[in-house]
Amino acid sequence: MGFPLTLALLLIAAPLDPTDLFEVEMEGKTVAVLDRGDFTLPFSGVSLVDVNRLESLVEKLEKLCYRKPVNATVSDSGGIVPEQKGRKLDRGAFLSQVYAYYYGAGAKGINIPYQVIYPKVDRGLLKQVQKKMIGQYTTYFNSGNRNRSHNIMLASKAIHNYVLLPGEIFSFNKVVGKRTREKGYLQAPVIVRGELSEGIGGGICQVSSTLFNAVDKAGLHILQRYAHSRHVAYVPPGRDATVSWDGPDFVFQNKYAYPILIKAGSFHGQMYVSIHSFQELEYDPREVPSVQEQVPEEELVYPLLTEQAAP
C-alpha cells in the first residue's frame, strides 16, 4: 500500500475541518499560518497534501530559522573567545506535526523544532591545537605602499585562526574568497616586480606564498601550487604560490592525525604565517630556505594590464 493511499484512508476515517488553522511560531512570534484548503491537492472525493507547496513552506522556514555555528577563536589579546552553537529546522519533527494536524489527529500549532549544529572548533580543541608550532615563515613588504599593505592585511585576516581537521583540504581561494572592492580590497598601481595582480592591486600572492612556505615547512601535503612566470623578490626562487580567483589556487591537505591551526598577520612591513597543532603530534618537518630581510623591488602596473602577470 503506497504512502498517499495510506494517508487518504486516514482522511476518510477522520474527516477534515477546512476551517482549522495551524500556526507556526518561532521565538514567541507567529511566522506562518497553514490552512488545510491551501495545502490540499484538487482531487475529488479524497484530500491529499500538496507536497510541493508544503516543501516550499519548509524551505522558507529553513532559511528563516537557520543560525550558523561560530567557531571558537583566539582574540587579539590571546584569550579564547567561546564557540556558539548554531541551529536548523528539524524537518522530520516539523513535517510529522504538520501531517498530524492535516489529518485531524494533531495540535493546531507548533513552536518550530530545531536541530543543534555544533561548531567545528570549540574551546577545548582550540586550547590544545595551539600548543606546538610546527611551521613558521616570514616575508617582507614595503609598508609605505598603503594599498598593497592593506590587501595583505585583509587576506591575512581571512586565513588567521583557521583550523584544519585531520584529512581536511585547505583551498586558498575558497577560504579567502573573491577579492573585491566590496570586501575592502584596493586597487594599487604599484606591485612587487614579477607578481601577479588580480586587478585590485598586489599583495594577495605574497600571503599565499608565505602560507605555502610555512605549510611546506610543517610537512603538510601540498596538492596544488603554481609559480609566477618569473621570480618574485619576497621569497627565494621557486618558493612562491601564485593565486587568482579565476585561475591558480594554492591547495594543501592536513595529513596528520591531529588538527592544525593557521595563524597569520602583517605589521610593520612583515607578513608572517605560523602552523600549530597538538603537543602530541609527531610531524615531518621539511627544510625551507628563508628570505632576506629586505623590501622587495616594486614596479608600476598600468590598469589595462592588471589582470595579467607581469612580463
- DSSP three-state, residue 164: strand
Averaged pLDDT, 251-275: 96
Are 110 and 158 within one domain? Answer: no
Mark whether 113 and 164 lie in a shared domain: no
Are 128 and 32 members of one domain?
no
Amino acid identity for residue 163 in this structure: V
Cα distances (angstroms) measured from residue 81 to each of 19, 71, 126, 134: 51, 9, 10, 23
**29 and 100, same domain (yes or no):** yes
Tens-place pLDDT, residues 233-254:
899 999 999 998 888 999 999 9
Query: What is the predicted pLDDT for the residue at 201?
Result: 59
What's the domain count of the chain? 2
CATH value at residue 54: 3.10.20
Residue 113 lies in a domain: yes
| Residue in the structure block whose three cell numbers are 617582507 | 140
Q: What is the pTM of this model?
A: 0.76
For residue 44, what is the enclosing H or E element?
Answer: none
Last residue of a domain, one of 68, 98, 117: 117
C-alpha cell at 295: 623590501
What integer pLDDT is reported at residue 49 of this predicted model? 85
Tally Cβ neighbours within 10 Å of residue 144. Answer: 11
Same domain, 87 and 141: no
Instruction: Kindly state whether residues 190 and 257 are assigned to the same domain.
Output: yes
Question: Domain boundary at 117, 150, 184, which?
Answer: 117
Instruction: Pick the last residue of a domain from 78, 96, 117.
Output: 117
pLDDT tens digit sequence for 287-310: 999 887 777 767 665 543 333 333
**Boundaries of domain holding 151:** 123-305
Q: What is the DSSP string of 182-229?
A: GGT----SEEETT-B--SS-S-HHHHHHHHHHHHHHTT-EEEE----S
| Cα torsion 204, 157, 181, 176: sign | positive
Residue pLDDT, tens place only, 53-80: 999 999 999 999 999 999 998 887 888 9
Task: Please give the C-alpha separations between residue 114 and each of 88, 91, 221, in angstroms, as whole numbers.
Answer: 5, 8, 38
Q: What is the pLDDT of residue 104?
A: 77
* Cβ–Cβ under 8 Å, residues 117 and 88: yes
